[in-house]
Amino acid sequence: MPSMRVIEVPQPGGPDAMLPGRRSIPTPKPGEVLIKVAAAGVNRPDIGQRRGLYPPPPGASDLLGLEVAGTVAALGDGTADWQIGEAVCALTSGGGYAEYCVAPAGQCLPKPSNLSFAEAAALPENYFTVWSNLFGPAGIKPGESLLVQGGSSGIGVAAIQLARAFQHEVFATAGSAEKCSACEKLGAVAIDYRQQDFTDVIRRATEGRGVDVILDMVGGDYVARELALLAADGRLIMLAFLGGANATIPLGDIVFKRLLLTGSALRPRSIEFKARIAQELRQQVWPLIESGSIRALIDSTFPLDQAPAAHALMESSRHIGKIVLTMA
């Protein structure tokens, strides 16, 4: 049976826990597409899974990797929308750190013609996540403003660009002058959280009103400050909690300002939900990418066998934008 190169994690641990291996090329089931992977995005959930803290959902591959780009190599039954050899990028539930990966057909999108495979691989996880939250039921409405915590991350870069493309005022925090500059080039008002208090900066900029929506990946003691900063009827959307999973909640702010505190994890959502998001992205966001209005911001690429170095870079938080693995 034909085999492929993969990156495995025999035991949870640090970056060096990832080891090269070989496995049989998977066979697509009905409704699935087999992709010959050219590039795979690196994401924070990969680090959590590598550490043993974020197990894959039932039925998903145990290999890391939640997004890929490449060409269609085989089709399962019921996948007539795709053709062998077609260039695609896809959201997966795992398995991206490999030369071949299966993905539900509804979670595939055509590779934008103006992007490389590495750039296309940087899109799915972040854009599915940001679109479903920022423009979903709890999301941003015309004329509202946004604060993005961690504006130079992959999620942050996507959120800034999407919000600006739809004419929203955006504030973004980042941890250095270089990262702030990157956020400003994307159209955000950047705040260096190591040098400034983001709540003070935003209150001054909005004459005390605050912001309407906050995308937060920090959690911890940020939560109380964020709820205090939200305008009336504001929404705080939690995507991660890198600063701590526990928070003290000021109930008075929630009650008297009618605030909504919600959260989201994309990986456990249904195939049907993700397919719907894919269609919305194809209709409303892919034309912006094709025109160059939204771009993929790549910090660095690593060959597959250097996945440990890619993870070490992500854990250092020195990167701006996406880190991508390539199969070449």
pLDDT digits (tens, 9 = 90+) for 253-295: 999 999 999 998 899 999 999 999 999 999 999 999 999 999 9
One domain for residues 216 and 294: no
Where does 177-216 have alpha helices with state H?
177-185, 198-205
The torsion of the CA quartet 141, 142, 147, 152, rounded to 10 degrees, works out to: 110
Q: Which residue has the tokens 């993005």?
A: 148
Q: What is the pLDDT of residue 256?
A: 96
Give the total number of structural domains in the chain.
2
Q: How many other CB atoms are there within 10 angstroms of residue 317's CB atom?
A: 14
Q: Assign residue 71 the CATH number of its domain.
A: 3.90.180.10
One domain for residues 47 and 102: yes
One domain for residues 179 and 72: no
pLDDT for 138 beyond 90:
no
Global model pTM greater than 0.85: yes
Backbone angles phi, psi at 246, to 5 degrees: -115, 145
The torsion of the CA quartet 99, 105, 107, 110, rounded to 10 degrees, works out to: 80
One domain for residues 158 and 182: yes
One domain for residues 155 and 232: yes
From first CA to last CA, the distance across the chain in angstroms is: 22
Q: Assign residue 182 the CATH number of its domain.
A: 3.40.50.720
Looking at residues 49-60, what average pLDDT do you find?
94
- Report pLDDT digits (tens) over 182-201: 999 999 999 999 999 999 99
Q: What is the pLDDT of residue 328?
A: 81
Q: Are 67 and 90 in contact (CB under 8 A)?
A: yes
Q: Give the Å distances, CA to CA, from 24 to 21, 42, 106, 138, 143.
A: 10, 23, 24, 42, 51
One domain for residues 144 and 104: no
One domain for residues 163 and 184: yes
User: What residue numbers bound the domain in which 215 lies?
Assistant: 128-263
One domain for residues 200 and 291: no
Tokens representing 111 are: 């590779």
